[in-house]
Amino acid sequence: MNVDMPSIRLLYMADLDALEKLEQASFANPWSRDSLAYELSENTLARYYGLFQEDVLLAYVGYWHILEEGHIANVAVLPAYRQKGCGEYLLRTVMTLALTEGVQRMTLEVREGNLPARRLYEKLGFRAVGLRPHYYQDQESAIIMWVDLANC
């Protein structure tokens, strides 16, 4: 990884400004500030982790812990830090933490055309199991992926 001494921790309401900034830098249709605030403060199923270099939020992963499953709601890495190992490091750490919290399997949807993300998820053990046609606002389809955490 090409980042000096990164740290990973849960995100809280105090991180909302940084989270919103990262979300807007990462997506054409970012989640709203209200949606992010709900995830951090009210959604009891949600776990949001951030990768920080000093006080700068470089990446985040949010997932919902539902019984023994984790549904990854979002993954984002600042554009300048993409393909430098940040996303992989953060996801590996979050998957390990989720396993210790009783999550046995994780799932996510990824844009069919997002080849770098798909390759990363496959590297981490996720396998494509289905397709959600026209899933995104722009009508792009999503690939449904799953991983058994005990086997990765």
98-148 tens-digit pLDDT: 999 999 999 999 999 999 999 999 999 999 999 999 988 889 999 999 999
| 126/113 Cα distance (integer angstroms) | 16
37 φ/ψ sector (left φ>0, alpha ψ -120 to 50, else beta): alpha
Among candidates 62, 69, 65, 3, which has minimal Cα distance to 31?
62
Strand partners, 51: 8, 59
What integer pLDDT is reported at residue 137 of this predicted model?
A: 83
Q: What is the pLDDT averaged over residues 53-77?
A: 96
46 within 8 A of 80, measured Cβ to Cβ: no
> What are the strands, taking DSSP E only, across 1-152?
7-10, 46-53, 56-66, 69-77, 105-111, 127-132, 142-148
